[in-house]
Structure 1
Amino acid sequence: MSRFFTTPEQVGEKTIRIVDKQDIQHMTKVLRLREGDRIDISDCQRWEYQAEILEIDKEYVETLILDKQKFTSEPFTKVTLFQGLPKQGKMEVIIQKTVELGIHEVVPLFTDRTVVTDNKGNLSKKQERWQKVADEAVKQCKRGLIPRIGEALKFQQLLPLLDTFDLVLFPYENEEQRNIKTALRGLDQKPETVALIIGPEGGFSDREAELLKGTRAHCVTLGKTTLRTETAGMAALAMVMYELEL
């Protein structure tokens, strides 16, 4: 059953209206849905519904609520990935796969070794594209919320934000002892918010690593092999979700 997203304002007592033009086009032109067909709908806040299509118009699709449940596919822990900007199209793969794994937010990060620049002012267009990738991925895996793709930050802007998280994990290739399992099982209580900090190709500079070690961040290893930047975030997130959610 296909899943679509709306806002709480479009949810009535017995009906839900979908007004997003792209969703309407996808429903009618691609999926070829008709009156009487059933779909899943999320209000992007708390509830998910099973609904039956009552009416299809150029401007909206009206549906009848058949069932209402609280989100069942969203993790308790909200994980934010601060991802060192990679080259080429790797960011799209990172976003797609981490959305499937349960990420709450992805924030691109400029670091000392980031090769990507924004000299031509194209980053905002890329961010729009990355958000669409997240939108498409979340529909495929039928989550309740659409993860946000945040505005890119410089490394120095990241540091003061770390105090807002219950737990900060900093996977680092030069760490050899402490792993994510040890860091998570040593906690007094389950964190509601977790930050994962992943470097770009080439990793973090020595300067950045020392600055992170001076914060609340837990420096951890992801294993004996050195992972690519597009793999490290996925691996770290999967480990966190396994320990905290499964």
Structure 2
Amino acid sequence: MHHFFTEPSQICETEIFIEGSDFNHMKNVLRMKQGEKVGISDGQGTDYTCEVERFEEGAAVLHILSSEKSYSELSSRIVLFQGLPKGDKMELIIQKAVELGVWEVVPVSTRRAVVKLDDKKAAKKVQRWNSIALGAAKQSGRSLVPEVKPVMGFAEALEYARELDITLIPYEMAEGMEKTKEMISSIRSGQSIGVFIGPEGGFDEEEVEKAQDMGAFPITLGKRILRTETAGLTVLSILMFHLEQ
């Protein structure tokens, strides 16, 4: 069953209206027929099972068969603070992070990041990245679309993370797997979590010190050095396994 998102304003008592690119995809790409079932999420935690009722000028009209609270979301909000990687790696990171249950992705410009984006390029990238997040949310059956925030500097990202209950920062110099396991085990359902991941060159020591001063907890991911596109997904996988209910 195909899955789409819509705004609550497009939902009536018994019908849902789908417009724009999703309408075109339903009608002209998927060539959906009357009576065909489709899943709809309102982005606020409710999922609907519908069937195609009719196609109007510029809109697909769906009849609501049933609705229920979504159970596809983790109990905790996880924010991935990803140091800007080279090439198209960010697209892969966002796609997989959304599949693993991330709540938000914050691209971070760090000291050792090779990629430097001016405001115009950054805005265009963020638009593209949010499109990737939408596609991944549809594919993985999420009930909401995680937002990719505008690119932040490291200090701005740390300030943003202050509102979270727990902040983790994998660091190659961190020691003690037992301490890492204890930290992960102590995270409770419902707590908000930030995960800081460095770019290809890793974090500068001063950046790690500033993160720790803010309250971030350094963790180790083992004896091997993980690529930037692997490290964040590893932490998200561990957290998903720990928090999934």
- The bucket for the TM-score relative to the shorter chain is over 0.9
Aligned to 1:53: 52
User: Which stretch of the first structure deviates more once superposed, 229-238 or 26-35?
Assistant: 26-35
Q: Does 1:81 align with 2:89?
A: no
Give, in whole Å, the separation in 2 of the partners of 1:26 and 1:17: 14
Q: Does the alignment pair 1:186 with 2:186?
A: yes
TM superposition shift of 1:190: 3.1
Tell me the equivalent position of 2:198.
199
Question: 2: CA distance between counterparts of 1:95 and 1:130?
Answer: 7
- Residue of structure 2 in register with 1:14 after alignment: 14
Q: Which runs of 5+ in 1 are unaligned?
A: none
Specify the code of the residue in structure 1 equivalent to 2:9.
E
Deviations 1:187-207 (A, max 9, x none): 5x4343110000001100011
- Please name the residue that 2:239 is paired with: 240
- Range 117-126 or range 42-51, more displaced: 117-126
Q: TM-score, normalised by structure 1?
A: 0.95
Looking at structure 2, the residues matched to 195 and 109 of structure 1 have their Cα atoms a distance apart, in angstroms, of 13
**Distance apart, 1:244 and its partner CA:** 1.6
| 8 Å contact kept, 2:75–2:189 | no
CA–CA distance in structure 1, aligned partners of residues 180 and 242 of structure 2: 9
> 1:83 touches 1:107 (CA, 8 Å); kept in 2?
yes
**Structure 2 unaligned blocks of 5 or more:** none
Native 8 Å contact 1:3 1:41 kept in 2? yes
Per-residue displacement from partner, 1:112-135 (whole Å, max 9, x unpaired)?
A: 001111247311111111000011
Residue 166 to residue 12, structure 1, CA distance change in 2 (3 Å): same
Residue of structure 1 in register with 2:147 after alignment: 148
3-state SS of paired residue (1:125): helix
User: What is the CA–CA distance in structure 2 between the aligned matches of 1:6 and 1:238, rounded to whole Å?
Assistant: 28
Report if aligned partners of 1:181, 1:243 keep a CA contact under 8 Å in 2.
Answer: no
Which residue of the partner structure matches residue 117 of structure 1?
Answer: 116
For structure 1, which segment, 98-107 or 191-200, has the greater mean C-alpha deviation from structure 2 after superposition? 191-200
Equivalent position SS for 1:140: helix
Structure 2 CA distance for partners of 1:161 and 1:119, relative to 1, 3 Å = closer
Q: Which amino acid aligns with 1:11?
A: I
One-letter code aligned to 1:12: C
Quick check: 1:34–1:56 contact (8 Å CA) kept in 2?
no
| Structure 2 CA distance for aligned equivalents of residues 56 and 204 of structure 1 | 52
Q: How far apart, CA to CA, are the structure 2 residues paired with 1:190 and 1:70?
A: 18
Q: Distance in 2 between matches of 1:205 and 1:112?
A: 7
Q: 1:168: which partner in 2?
A: 167
1:50–1:180 CA distance, 2 compared to 1 (3 A) = farther
Question: For 1:240 and 1:180, how far apart are their aligned partners in 2?
Answer: 12
Hey, what's the Cα distance between the residues in 2 that align with 1:120 and 1:192? 33
Query: Which amino acid is the alignment partner of residue 181 of structure 1?
Result: K
CA separation in 1, counterparts of 2:72 and 2:138?
12
Shift of residue 32, structure 1, vs aligned partner = 1.0
Query: CA, structure 1 residues 224+58, in 2 after alignment: closer, same or farther (shift >3 Å)?
Result: farther
Per the alignment, residue 4 of structure 1 pairs with 4
Secondary structure of the residue that 1:98 maps to in structure 2? helix
Partner of 2:23: 24
- In the aligned structure 1, how far is the partner of 2:59 from the partner of 2:225? 50
Conserved 8 A contact 1:167-1:193: yes
Q: TM-score normalised to the size of structure 2?
A: 0.96
Work out the CA distance in 1 between the residues paired with 2:235 and 2:129.
20
